[in-house]
Every structure is written in C-alpha cells, then in structure tokens.
C-alpha cells in the first residue's frame, strides 16, 4: 500500500498526541530546569568535612590570631580568635577575605627580570655576582622574625649589611628611642591604662597598630558616651573615620599638627598645667593659630582638655618630634598609660635610609611594604608574593603565599606587651616560589634554618618562665614541662604574651624643644596593609559600598 501525504500528516498528528502520554516532555522540562540550577560553567564549592585550624596572620606586623576553616586541604573561611588576648577575635576587614589572596590575578608565579620571565638559577647567579662585587644590602620589613635571623646571618658572613624598612608606626616611636637611648623595636603604647588619647592624625580606629586592640578598647570604654572613660581627641584636617567617631575633633590645616603640638605645650607650660620642666617651644600662640587655622581659645581649650583626665597620651601617625616632645612634657613616657619599654630586649635595627643607598645590589625581603622603593641605582632583587605594579626592581622574585610558609610573628610595633606567634604552613608552598631565607640558604647552606630558629626562640621564652601561652585558655609558661610542649601549643596557633612592662623603665630628656616638621598624611590600613593587592572581594565591596577608595593599584 502506498503512503499518501495525508497519511504522513495524520501519522505525525498521532505521534504528537502520543508523546504527551510519555515521560519525554515532562522529564525534559524538569531536567532542563535542573540544568539551569547547576550550570556546568558555575564553580562548585569543595565537598567534604570542614576542619578548623588556628594560626597567626602574616600579612602585616600586627600579629592577629586567625581561625582558618579548611576543606579538602584549602582554606575556605577566616575569622578571628576570640581567646587571643591582644586582638580579642578582631581582624582587619581584609583579613576576612585573605584566603582568596593566593589566587589573586596579580600573584607572582615566576621570576621576572626587567619584566621578562627568568629562572631562579639566573636570579641566584646574578645575586652571587653582586655579592662578589659588593657592597650589598638586605632589607627586612619585619625585624625579629626567625627568618630575619637567617638574613642577618647571611649578612654577617658575606660582608653585606642588614637593614630594615621601618613602618610608619615604628618611625613615630623613633624620637623616644633616640632621646631615651633604647631600641625603637622595644617601644610600645600602653593604651589600656590611659584615659585620654590625643591622636595627631593617627588612624586609631582605622587599622592603626593591631586592629582589634584599640577598636575593642574604644568600643568598651569610649563609644557612644558623652562622658566616656576613655576620651579620644582626634586632631586631623579631614573628617576621617576616626575623627567621625572621636569624642572631640579638631581640624587644623594640613601639615600643621606639629605646630599645634608645640602650641599646646606652650599653653601647658605658661599656665603651669604640668609639673614637668622642658625647654620652651619657640612658637607663639598667635602664629600657631594663624598656621593651624584654629583660634587661640580652642588651642587653650585643647590644652586644658588634655590634662583634665590623666594619664594622657599623644599619638602621631608617623615620625613627629613635637608630638613626642609633648608626650615628654605630659609625663607620658615610661609610665603606665604612656609610651613604654617592653621587657624583652631587642637589637636596634639600622634603617635603610641610614647610609644613602650606595650599594651594588639590594635584596628586599617579601615583608617590606610595596611602597618602599630604595632611592638607589643598585641592582634591586625584590621578593614579593604579589606584583603591586610599577615596581622599579630589576628582579621580581615570587615568594610563598599566605599560609604557605612556616614562620613566626614577633611582637607588633605598637604593642605594650611582648607577644610571640608561630604561623604554620597550613597549605603547601606554591610551585616556583622561594622565600628569601630559602634563597639565601641555597647560596650558603651553612645558614641556620628557620624551623630551628623558631625552636630556639621557644626554648628562650621557656627559659624566662615569664608570661603565659593563650590557647583556648591561658597556661603560664612555668606550667609547661618542656619547651617542646610549649612549642607544639604555639605551632597549633596559641600566642605567648609576656609580662606587662615595668613602670619607669626608661625616660627621655629633651635638650631643646624640637623644630616642628610638617607631618606626613595619616594613612589608613588600606595603606599600611602589607600586601600590595586587595582581596578581590574587598576591592569589590569597597567599590560597591563607596565606603573607601581602594588605591587604583590595589584593585582586584
């Protein structure tokens, strides 16, 4: 029988009708919808149980305690450690997305020489050549680490000089170090026992020092009260976050903070508001008023306010001798609630600027902030984990990423008490990365190794029998039966905190009142943050909330 066109039509009609009595259309409809819920090009989070590890943050010198959640061997979440006596569970905002940093597009993964890919052997031979020709300087961003001792040892054995790049916070402390003849690395602020803090533009609530230390203090004793236990007086040209939250805000002209400090000192001396005797500042109130743009009355008012509730402490964001001198006048040096000398002695490091950069080569450690650009025509070997862009370095050497290397975190620059953390390598070191210490050890295998250095630090602390180790609950050092036991605790993320500094441990004497130097602009932690890049999330959120202008080079 022959099939007509009509048959075909009717047959098709039959098929069409029949299909609706099969699972085909319905199942397809469902599965396609499920497909849209699990699009193959959308990344899936890792599976498997989550374990929590504790460690210390190494992204800057603040030594915050980190609680890291790990899945399938990768960090998948970060939060603070509430049992950490210094940070009390707080972190800087960037810390919460820090586990993304290792995959940042700007991550350095290969040696680069003048912008071109090079090999480690080339870099090594180049550096060896430089060492042979000498002189060479090694710049450390965070002195006092186990790794620093490796750098130091190399310097000692190869006639190269070991230098440090001081953070703005440490620089602010240098005047006291000079006047008191003590190492700047052992100085800190006893914020906990002071009752009035006068900040000359220091971003106290915005990443200054160890985040969490002051913010917690402020929220407990200052926030939201018209007559707080802790008075925060912010002196800053613009209404910064700290200024917006301060108890009082004074807005002098840009760079006139030093003058204001001297003027206030003058008032204190003239009106005998302080007992201490120091050389009279060479400034008149009218000049000061003219320079700062504040009225003479408000300068007086400020002076009176300072001595109303003592102890009082003045803090500058960067080196500012006048502010330091004001502290001396206020008796805020070497006393509780002032600038204090910590118990553990530390060597006083030589800043890089000390000898005008006449070097054949400079090796810059990965802890040195990206902003640090040596004014020298030496051959620069820069270790870094991320490429912050616009680097003048001849060699860019990729170093291990966040949580990728075993290192230790010594006391934070502004801390009042000595602390010690060990940061374990929670994730494997990325291929092709070498830390400065590893690099130098390749050249000289007789150098001490970081792990041993950490071990000896722990033994050292154990011998002093001072302070306590804070894990979930604190354990006094003397209660540990062995240094190893204590080290294991520290390696698991516990923090050692030493005794509070003794009062009167040091004092400063002023020969004459320092000349007022224009202060550097206050920098919030967006600047002090060590990595030259923001975690992509942070960059995104600050852009979308228009809360903070992330510097262009920090964009994800």
Within 226-255, the residues that bind other proteins by CB under 8 A are: 226, 239, 241-242, 244-245, 249, 251
Altogether, the residues listed in the chain come to a count of 556
Which one of the spans 75-83, 124-132, 139-147, 340-348 is the region binding other proteins (CB under 8 A)?
A: 75-83
Q: Which of 66, 90, 288, 289 binds other proteins (CB under 8 A)?
A: 90
For the CB of residue 322, give the shortest distance to other proteins in the complex, in Å.
Answer: 23
Q: How far is CA 1 from CA 4, 7, 287, 399, 507, in A?
A: 9, 11, 117, 82, 117
Q: Which of 63, 99, 168, 404 binds other proteins (CB under 8 A)?
A: 99
What are 475's strand-pairing partners? 469
Query: What does the alpha-carbon distance between residue 425 and residue 251 come to, in Å, rounded to a whole number?
Result: 46
Picking from 411, 404, 394, 408, the residue whose alpha carbon sits closest to that of residue 425 is 404
Which one of the spans 48-56, 329-337, 377-385, 442-450 is the region binding other proteins (CB under 8 A)?
A: 48-56
For the CB of residue 460, give the shortest distance to other proteins in the complex, in Å.
Answer: 32
Q: Is 302 in the site for other proteins (CB under 8 A)?
A: no
> Using CB under 8 A as the criterion, what x/- string covers residues 186-215 for binding other proteins?
-------------------xxx---xx--x
- Residue 395: how many CA atoms within 13 Å on its side-chain side? 28
Residue by residue, what is the 3-state secondary structure of 82-132?
A: CCCCCCCCCCCHHHHHHHHHHHCCCECCCEEECCEEECHHHHHHHHHHHHH
For the CB of residue 256, give the shortest distance to other proteins in the complex, in Å.
Answer: 15
Residue by residue, what is the 3-state secondary structure of 183-207?
A: CHHHEEECHHHCCEEEECCCCCCCC
Picking from 248, 250, 254, 240, the residue whose alpha carbon sits closest to that of residue 291 is 254
For the CB of residue 487, give the shortest distance to other proteins in the complex, in Å.
Answer: 26
End-to-end Cα, the chain, rounded Å: 73
Helix 296-308 crosses helix 257-270 at what angle (to 10 degrees)? 70
Q: Which of 218, 247, 420, 480 binds other proteins (CB under 8 A)?
A: 218
- Which parts of 251-280 interact with other proteins (CB under 8 A)? 251
For the CB of residue 220, give the shortest distance to other proteins in the complex, in Å.
Answer: 8
Which tokens go with 236? 């800053």
Which one of the spans 94-102, 139-147, 330-338, 449-457 is the region binding other proteins (CB under 8 A)?
A: 94-102
Query: What does the alpha-carbon distance between residue 420 and residue 143 come to, in Å, rounded to a whole number?
Result: 13
- Which parts of 49-68 interact with other proteins (CB under 8 A)? 49-50
Query: What does the alpha-carbon distance between residue 484 and residue 422 come to, in Å, rounded to a whole number?
Result: 13
Q: Is 511 in the site for other proteins (CB under 8 A)?
A: no
Q: How many beta carbons lie within 10 A of that of residue 485, not counting itself?
A: 14
Q: Which of 59, 81, 86, 94 binds other proteins (CB under 8 A)?
A: 94
Q: Which residues contact 378 (CB under 8 A, 6 or more apart)?
A: 137, 357, 359, 360, 361, 362
Q: Which of 45, 115, 356, 390 binds other proteins (CB under 8 A)?
A: 45
Nearer to other proteins, 245 or 360 (CB): 245
Q: Which of 17, 116, 277, 473 binds other proteins (CB under 8 A)?
A: 17
Q: Is 473 in the site for other proteins (CB under 8 A)?
A: no
Q: Which residues contact 117 (CB under 8 A, 6 or more apart)?
A: 110, 111
Q: Which of 56, 61, 86, 92 binds other proteins (CB under 8 A)?
A: 92
- Which parts of 23-42 interact with other proteins (CB under 8 A)? 23-24, 27-29, 31-42
Query: What does the alpha-carbon distance between residue 364 and residue 384 come to, in Å, rounded to a whole number?
Result: 9
Picking from 204, 208, 150, 86, the residue whose alpha carbon sits closest to that of residue 363 is 150
Which one of the spans 88-96, 159-167, 462-470, 492-500 is the region binding other proteins (CB under 8 A)?
A: 88-96
Which tokens go with 256? 């006139």
For the CB of residue 89, give the shortest distance to other proteins in the complex, in Å.
Answer: 8
- Which parts of 101-160 interact with other proteins (CB under 8 A)? 102-105
For the CB of residue 186, give the shortest distance to other proteins in the complex, in Å.
Answer: 27
> SS3 of 77, please?
strand
Q: Is 428 in the site for other proteins (CB under 8 A)?
A: no
Token pair 């290397």 is found at: 405
Query: What does the alpha-carbon distance between residue 90 and residue 210 come to, in Å, rounded to a whole number?
Result: 9
Nearer to other proteins, 25 or 181 (CB): 25
Nearer to other proteins, 94 or 266 (CB): 94
Which one of the spans 10-18, 153-161, 481-489, 503-511 is the region binding other proteins (CB under 8 A)?
A: 10-18
Beta-strand (E) ranges in 428-497? 468-470, 474-476, 495-497
Nearer to other proteins, 58 or 367 (CB): 58
Q: Is 552 in the site for other proteins (CB under 8 A)?
A: no
- Which parts of 519-548 interact with other proteins (CB under 8 A)? 535-548
Nearer to other proteins, 46 or 181 (CB): 46
β-pairing verdict for 196-199 and 136-140:
unpaired
Nearer to other proteins, 462 or 525 (CB): 525
Q: Is 446 in the site for other proteins (CB under 8 A)?
A: no
């Amino acid at each position: 029988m022959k099939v007509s066109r009509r048959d075909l039509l009717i047959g098709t009609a039959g098929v069409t009708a029949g299909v609706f009595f099969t699972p085909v259309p319905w199942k397809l409809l469902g599965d396609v919808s499920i497909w849209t819920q699990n699009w193959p090009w959308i990344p899936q989070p890792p599976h498997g149980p989550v374990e929590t590890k504790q460690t210390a943050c190494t992204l800057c010198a603040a030594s915050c305690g980190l609680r890291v959640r790990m899945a399938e061997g990768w960090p998948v979440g970060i939060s603070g450690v509430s049992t950490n006596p210094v940070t009390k569970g707080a972190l800087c905002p960037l810390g919460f997305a820090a586990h993304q940093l290792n995959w940042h597009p700007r991550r350095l993964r290969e040696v680069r020489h003048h912008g071109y890919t090079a090999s480690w052997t080339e870099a090594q031979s180049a550096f060896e050549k430089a060492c042979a020709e000498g002189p060479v300087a090694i710049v450390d961003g965070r002195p006092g680490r186990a790794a620093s001792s490796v750098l130091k040892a190399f310097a000692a054995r190869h006639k190269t000089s070991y230098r440090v790049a001081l953070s703005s916070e440490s620089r602010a402390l240098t005047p006291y170090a000079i006047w008191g003849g003590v190492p700047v690395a052992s100085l800190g602020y006893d914020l906990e026992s002071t009752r009035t803090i006068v900040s000359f533009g220091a971003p106290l609530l915005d990443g200054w020092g160890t985040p969490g230390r002051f913010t917690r203090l402020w929220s407990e004793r200052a926030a939201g009260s018209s007559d707080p236990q802790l008075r925060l007086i912010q002196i800053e040209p613009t209404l910064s976050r700290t200024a917006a939250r301060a108890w009082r805000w004074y807005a002098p002209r840009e760079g006139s903070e030093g003058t204001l400090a001297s003027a206030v000192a003058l008032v204190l001396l003239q009106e005998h508001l302080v007992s201490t005797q120091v050389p009279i500042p060479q400034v008149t109130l009218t000049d000061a008023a003219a320079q700062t743009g504040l009225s003479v009355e408000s300068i007086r008012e400020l002076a009176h306010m300072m001595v109303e509730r003592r102890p009082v402490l003045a803090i500058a964001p960067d080196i500012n001798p006048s502010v330091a001198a004001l502290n001396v006048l206020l008796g805020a040096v070497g006393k509780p609630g002032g600038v204090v000398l910590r118990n553990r002695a530390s060597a006083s490091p030589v800043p890089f600027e000390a000898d005008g950069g006449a070097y054949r080569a400079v090796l810059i450690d990965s802890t040195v902030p990206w902003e640090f650009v040596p004014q020298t025509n030496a051959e620069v070997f820069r270790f870094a984990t991320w490429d912050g862009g616009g680097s003048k370095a001849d060699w860019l050497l990729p170093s291990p990423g966040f949580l990728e290397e075993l290192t230790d975190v010594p006391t934070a620059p502004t801390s009042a008490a000595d602390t010690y953390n060990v940061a374990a390598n929670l994730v494997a070191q990325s291929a092709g990365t070498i830390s400065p210490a590893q690099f130098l050890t390749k050249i000289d295998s007789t150098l001490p190794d970081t792990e041993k250095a950490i071990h000896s630090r722990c033994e050292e602390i154990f011998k002093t029998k001072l302070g306590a180790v804070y894990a979930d609950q604190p354990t006094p050092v003397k209660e540990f039966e062995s240094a190893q036991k204590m080290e294991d605790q520290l390696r698991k993320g516990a923090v050692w905190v030493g005794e509070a500094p003794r009062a009167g441990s040091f004092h400063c004497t002023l020969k004459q009142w320092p000349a007022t130097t224009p202060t550097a602009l206050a920098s919030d932690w967006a600047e002090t943050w060590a990595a030259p890049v923001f975690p992509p999330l942070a960059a995104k959120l600050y852009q979308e909330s228009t809360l903070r202008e992330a510097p262009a080079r920090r964009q994800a």
